[in-house]
Amino acid sequence: MSIVGLPPFQPAPLIRGGAVQTIAAQVWPQWPDVRPTKTYKIDVTDGDRLVVMEYRPAGWAAGQRIALLVHGLNGCYRSRYMIRIGRELVRRGMLVVRVNMRGCGPGFGLARGFNHAGRTEDIRAVLRWLANLYAGSPTTLIGFSLGGNATLKMAGDDSQHPTGNLDSVVAISPPVDLTASARHIQLPENRFYDWYFATECVRTVRHLHQRFPDMPAFRAPQRMRLFDFDDAFTAPRSGYRDAADYYAQSSSAPVISDIRVPALILCALDDPVVDTGTLEKMRGQTALDMVLTHHGGHMGFLGRTGRRFGLRWMDALVVNWIERMRRTVGE
């Protein structure tokens, strides 16, 4: 059975396992990035600012569709998936806005706060800014990994009253149950990712304290898991009691069924970063489009698609789904 014109996902030969798919997607060749049309700085809470990049196709005018892309943990507007999908959506005539979440990418030094899974207020701030700047432009929000959880959490919390001109959402490899995913990434076969994300978070915080030396000191133990980092830094610095409280309040799973705009969730059952148990239980119980594949890893999905997308099955699914949604609403 095809999915918006695609064959069901089958991993490319020799790229079958979740870990292999995850890593291969990060090194597989792709077109280089292009310069943004404009760069903006947007005020958010606590005096912090975000930096967003706009990519405008020729002939685009206010009232036409906008695609708003939100990266994952330790990412930024130059994350490879942001570059690829952003380029293709511009080619399809959409204005693309790539967000650097709080303190990320070129926004480093403009925010004392730290990006996390529950930063829904930052996404709302960008959606309101877009609605004021481009009145009447329907907006598709696309969140990747941790940004995918925040995307679903915001859409579920807002339910029948979407922020700005939001009319559709896409979430790729979202950790909808943060507690379960924290346990999942600690499994022996997944510990490399646990170490990698924790190490990158600690490195970011050290740079942050060099930029703002008046901030309270943070001393990381030598062997820190991502859960330990969230418990010692993310949670208390973001207004949560501890990691358990942060995970409970920021997980999107409890509100996914409240989403009232068209929505797509894509996740692989062999994802080494995200636990998919909650999504498996939800399958068939919500009106949104949920695609759970046996293989694909974490934002990997390298498999047969056709000439335009090469092996980038994930990209083809996202773009084809958005195009189908546009036809449904008469664009």
Residue 122's nearest CA partner among 200, 176, 41, 181 is: 41
Average pLDDT over residues 253-273: 97
| 203 falls within a domain | no
Q: Output the CA torsion 327→65→301→312 (10° steps).
A: 90
Q: What's the number of domains the chain is made of? A: 1
Task: Inform me whether the pLDDT recorded for 256 exceeds 60.
Answer: yes
Query: Could you tell me which residues come within 8 angstroms of residue 13 by beta carbon, excluding any fewer than 6 positions away?
Result: none
Residue found by looking up tokens 């409890």 in the block = 254
pLDDT at 287: 80
Contact 297, 269 (CB under 8 A): no
Sequential DSSP letters for 277-319: HHHHHHTTSSSSEEEEESS-TTTT-EEEEETTTEEEHHHHHHH
* Mean pLDDT taken over the chain: 95
| 25 falls within a domain | yes
Q: Residue 265's domain spans which residues?
A: 18-181+253-328
| 321 falls within a domain | yes
| 210 falls within a domain | no
Residue 260 CB-half CA count within 13 A:
7
Taking CA atoms, 169 is separated from 123, 146, 304, in Å, by 12, 14, 25
Per-residue pLDDT band for 223 (boundaries 50, 70, 90) equals confident
State the CATH number of the domain containing residue 148. Answer: 3.40.50.1820
Q: Where are the beta strands (DSSP E) in the chain?
A: 38-43, 49-55, 66-70, 95-100, 139-144, 166-172, 263-268, 289-293, 302-306, 310-312
| 247 falls within a domain | no
Tens digit of each residue's pLDDT (9 = 90 or more) over 5-62: 888 999 999 999 999 999 999 999 999 999 999 999 999 999 999 999 999 999 999 9
- Taking the C-alpha atoms of residue 271 and residue 190, their distance in angstroms, rounded to an integer, is 9
- Residue 65, classified by CB atoms within 10 Å of its CB into exposed (0-12), middle (13-18) or buried (19+), is buried
pLDDT at 178: 98
Grouping H, G, I as helix, E, B as strand and the rest as coil, residue 162 is coil
| 262 falls within a domain | yes
- Residue 51, classified by CB atoms within 10 Å of its CB into exposed (0-12), middle (13-18) or buried (19+), is buried
More confident residue, 309 or 287: 309
Tens digit of each residue's pLDDT (9 = 90 or more) over 118-174: 999 999 999 999 999 999 999 999 999 999 999 999 999 999 999 999 999 999 999
- Taking the C-alpha atoms of residue 63 and residue 128, their distance in angstroms, rounded to an integer, is 15
Q: What are phi and psi of 149, to 5 degrees?
A: -65, -45
Query: Could you tell me which residues come within 8 angstroms of residue 276 by beta carbon, excluding any fewer than 6 positions away?
Result: 267, 268, 269, 292
> The whole model's pTM is what?
0.97
| 22 falls within a domain | yes
Residue 239's nearest CA partner among 90, 79, 113 is: 113
Residue found by looking up tokens 């806005």 in the block = 97
Tens digit of each residue's pLDDT (9 = 90 or more) over 271-281: 999 999 999 99
Per-residue pLDDT band for 221 (boundaries 50, 70, 90) equals confident
pLDDT at 193: 97
Question: At CA 27, angle to CA 25 and CA 31, rounded to 5?
Answer: 90
- Taking the C-alpha atoms of residue 3 and residue 45, their distance in angstroms, rounded to an integer, is 40
Average pLDDT over residues 70-77: 98
- Residue 286, classified by CB atoms within 10 Å of its CB into exposed (0-12), middle (13-18) or buried (19+), is middle
| 176 falls within a domain | yes
